[in-house]
Structure 1
Amino acid sequence: MLAMRDLKPAQLTQLQTSFPELTVLTMADLSETNLNDINIIYGYYQTTAGKTLLSQLLASSHSQLQWVQTISAGVDYLPFKALNDRHVLVTNASGIHAQSIAQNVFGYLLYFERALDQAVVAKSQKHYGIDTDKIVNLDDKNLLIFGPGHVGQQIAKVAKAFNMTVYGVSHSGQAKADFDEIVDDRHYEALLAKADYIVNIMPLTTETNKFFNRAFFDKLTTQPIFINVGRGPSVDEAALHGALTTGQLKAAALDVFDPEPLAATSPLWDDANLMITPHTSGYVQHFSHAYFNVFLPNLTQFMQDGTLVQNLVDMHKHY
């Protein structure tokens, strides 16, 4: 097993005790003699080194790679054809980031709706006062979530604590807890007329690339707040800038961009009603512990029979 992400001493000890037949390597341990012996990659992410390594393994006829555990929930960056051709399994970190991203989403909403944006400006001007007519409560508002997966479900759960009505859009339209209604991605337009807030947490696929474009924003009639904590390429940033400028959107918050980092020349920096965070909504304080606990049940099963029990990525849907 190659650990691309550092293991805590206690975690390494647990692996050595539970799986004495497992050899754990780090990037520093790699050599031409042991590269093809790797069966499992733990902590994979699309760094230059990671991409080069994975390409080497998938190109080698002697590679014994069987399973890649990514560090992220979204895995759109992976070479799925090559992985499929070599019958390599992929698991992601879906669910680990759900609490963190949900908290960020409501941080964005409260920032705008409770006029905290005004308070920040007023303080910088040493002015004691804000426009209280613009303070809004979240209760009884309508939240529309594109992508009711692990993260979307956590956002919906928190929304219910605010007494919000929650709608969802997914590929299947299958009902889920804490959603008042979920429709499939061909029948969502009627929900736009109800939406006070729109959140994107969809995976990036050919269907979701630039999904939120000018045509989408032109359908809006309620001046909602738009939040993207999904994937940067899902949003046409020029169209979003236009929607903020024309008032089609009341405000927006973006945590992901295309490309990253966001260029200093982007007009988005000058949008007063836009909050920008540098792809940090998913940060987890004790990530190493949570990530290892997602990996361990899969490793236990894999060492028994080569199968995996959770977070298995659909190699055709790419999520």
Structure 2
Amino acid sequence: MPTILTLYEFSDEHAKQIRDIAPDYELKTVPIKEVTPEQIREADILVGWNRKMEQAAVESDTLKWVQSWSAGVDYFPMDRFAEKNVLLTNSGGVHAIPISEHIFAVLLSMTRSVHLNIRSQVRGKWDKNGTYGEAAGRTMVIVGTGHIGRATAKLAKAFGMNTIGVRHSGRPEEYIDEMYRTHGIEEAFGKGDVIVNILPLTDDTRHFFDKDSFGYMKKGALFINVGRGPSVDTDALVAALDSGTLSGAALDVFEQEPLPEDHPLWKREDVIITPHVAGNTDHYDVRATEIFIDNLKAFVNGETLPCNLVDYSRKY
């Protein structure tokens, strides 16, 4: 009997749905820390991932589909999967609400100097220093306008902001006032009061935000990174902060994680650091499971997987 091996515990209700959809499959649950290479090699469908299981996965003669529990897939052996015709789907869309809300949490914090007020509170100081601006009327440039970018743009419009999008195709998107292709960033960045990075990590996006990119930005812009850490050249980011090109930055992801304790970013008052938690939510597992179930319905019928099928040629 073919096997669905899940490294995550499904609820009783979801497990019943899965068994009803795929009655010819055995549903086997093994905690991620306990799974063995042999179990990986024998699975037909794998739900979840750990980098330590890569060798067993690419050696498998039965594995047909991997459902990632994360949205990012840059750490998967995509070339090997493509060679073996193994499908890969991610959990894109799970993060749209928490990450878009996180973006506005840090945006409003920096716009209203709440981050400085909190630091003063820790020191026991009544200190009104800081700038007290407004989000309304400002222009947000969203780089990467998928599920998260669309949700972020919707919130931006609710706050009375203007929205500009940057995406590879240049295709229009709801809640985006203007859309630019990636080769049009010089003009787009020059209009932005807030630049939000939501890019996936590919060969084309590694160090997408470099010295030139930061140089295109309007002086005093705020930079928010909830995409992938290596899409930003950290040295160029620090230089942009030092020069005043950026008035501040809110960073959830980094080239090196955890961010080293002696890194200069920790001590900057114009920076908010969060430890890669923007996508965390207590609704995560339910949403990811629903994506898997929608894909499973198609898989057992021999149809194209409808949700988040990774294009190996584009690496996302």
Q: TM-score, normalised by structure 2?
A: 0.93
Report the equivalent of 1:65.
Answer: 63
> Bigger CA drift: 164-173 or 263-272?
263-272
From 286, 308, 317, give the equivalent of 2:314: 317
Q: Which runs of 5+ in 1 are unaligned?
A: 45-49
Q: Is the 8 A contact 2:141 2:163 kept in 1?
A: yes
CA 1:56 to 1:306, structure 2 compared with 1: closer, same or farther past 3 Å? farther
Shift of 1:30: 5.9
Query: Could you say which residue in structure 2 is the equivalent of 1:284?
Result: 281
Please report how far the alpha carbon of residue 31 of structure 1 lies from its aligned counterpart in structure 2 after TM superposition: 6.3
Q: CA RMSD in A?
A: 1.8
Structure 1 counterpart of 2:82: 84
- In the alignment, which residue of structure 2 is the partner of 1:47? none
Alignment pair present for 1:9 and 2:6: no
Q: Is 1:37 the counterpart of 2:34 in the alignment?
A: no
- Secondary structure of residue in 1 paired with 2:184: coil
Q: Distance in 2 between matches of 1:159 and 1:5?
A: 34
Residue 148 (1) aligns with residue 145 (2): yes
Cα distance change on mapping 1:33 and 1:208 into 2, 3 Å: closer
Contact residue 41 and residue 59 of structure 2 kept, 8 A: no
User: 1:237 maps to which residue?
Assistant: 234
* CA drift at 1:294: 1.1
- 1:240-279 to 2 correspondence within 5 Å? 240-279=237-276
**What's the secondary structure of 1:187's corresponding residue?**
helix
The alpha carbon displacement at 1:13 in A equals 2.8
Whole-Å Cα distance in 2 between the matches of residues 187 and 292 of structure 1? 37
TM superposition shift of 1:96: 0.6
Question: What is residue 96 of structure 1 aligned with on the other side?
Answer: 94
For 1:98-247, list aligned pairs within 5 A.
98-131=96-129, 134-247=131-244
Which region of structure 1 is more displaced relative to structure 2, 172-181 or 4-13?
4-13
**Which of the numbers 8, 27, 30 marks the counterpart of 1:27?**
30
Between stretches 299-308 and 122-131, larger displacement belongs to: 122-131
Alpha-carbon displacement from aligned partner over 1:225-281 (angstroms, at most 9, x marks no partner): 000000000111111112112211100011001121111121111111100000000
1:99-149 deviation digits (Å, cap 9, x = unpaired) = 0000010011111111212321332343445147x2111111000011011
Deviates further, 306-315 or 180-189: 306-315
Corresponding residue for residue 294 of structure 1: 291
CA distance in 2, matches of 1:36, 1:216: 44
CA distance in 1, matches of 2:297, 2:153: 32
**Contact 2:193–2:218 (8 Å) recurs in 1:** no
Quote the Cα distance in structure 2 between the aligned partners of 1:123 and 1:35. 51
Give, as a single letter, the amino acid of the residue that structure 2 aligns with 1:72: S
**Cα distance in 2, alignment partners of residues 245 and 197 from structure 1:** 17
Are 2:249 and 2:270, in contact at CA under 8 Å, matched by a contact in 1?
yes
Give the superposition deviation at 1:306: 5.0
Percent identity over the alignment?
A: 35
Relative distance call for 1:2 and 1:115 in structure 2 (3 A) is: same
**Does the aligned pair in 1 maintain the 2:186–2:217 contact within 8 Å?**
no
Amino acid at match of 1:126: G
Q: Give me the whole-angstrom Cα distance separating, in 1, the residues matched to 2:191 and 2:169.
A: 21
Query: For residues 40 and 144 of structure 2, what CA distance do their matches in structure 1 show?
Result: 38
Tell me the distance in 1 between the aligned counterparts of 2:179 and 2:36.
Answer: 50
Separation in 1, partners of 2:305, 2:214: 41
Q: Distance in 2 between matches of 1:57 and 1:129?
A: 56
Moved more, 225-234 or 190-199: 190-199
Asked whether the 8 Å contact 2:37–2:53 carries over to 1, the reply is no
